[in-house]
Amino acid sequence: MKIIKEFREFAIKGNMFDMAIGIIIGVAFNKIVSSLVNDIITPVFGLVLGKVNFQNLKVVIQEEIKTSTGEIEQELITLNYGIFIQSILDFLIIAMTVFLIVKGINKLRAKADNEKDDSVPTPKDIQLLSEIRDLLKSNKQ
């Protein structure tokens, strides 16, 4: 439940850096995630649900009507809810991937900013060391 709470906070309170990372990663992984959903996850769900092909799940609103010569008089109109389900799966996988990456970056950022942790130098430590180095250089001259 903690991860759901963190995901909700990320989705609602995300700053510009988090959003930029989300956009970049979302675009970069779009083809991979679409393939994962279309070629691996959806067929498995379809098999479990009784050999259903999600691409074919639709509700016909208007049948195609042809004239006696075979020309199409009225087009077939359908609601393709199977493709919509695949798009939802795409979104959820991309959103969760971005969330986990941003969570990892935030954890690393928090560790770097933690002054009590000696294992990783903080930006303040780095600045202080730079000032000491500069003072030592100026004293030698």
The domain tally of the chain equals: 1
Whether the pTM exceeds 0.75: the reply is no
Task: Note down the domain range covering 28.
Answer: 2-140
Give per-10-residue mean pLDDT for the chain (141 aa): 78 67 76 79 80 80 78 81 83 81 82 65 72 81 63
- Identify the pLDDT of residue 38: 78
CATH number of the structural domain spanning residue 25: 1.10.1200
Which of 43, 36, 53, 42 is CA-nearest to residue 96? 36
| Main-chain dihedrals φ then ψ at residue 98, nearest 5 degrees | -60, -45
Reported in sequence order, the residue ranges of the chain that DSSP labels E, i.e. its strands, are 59-62, 65-66, 72-74, 77-79
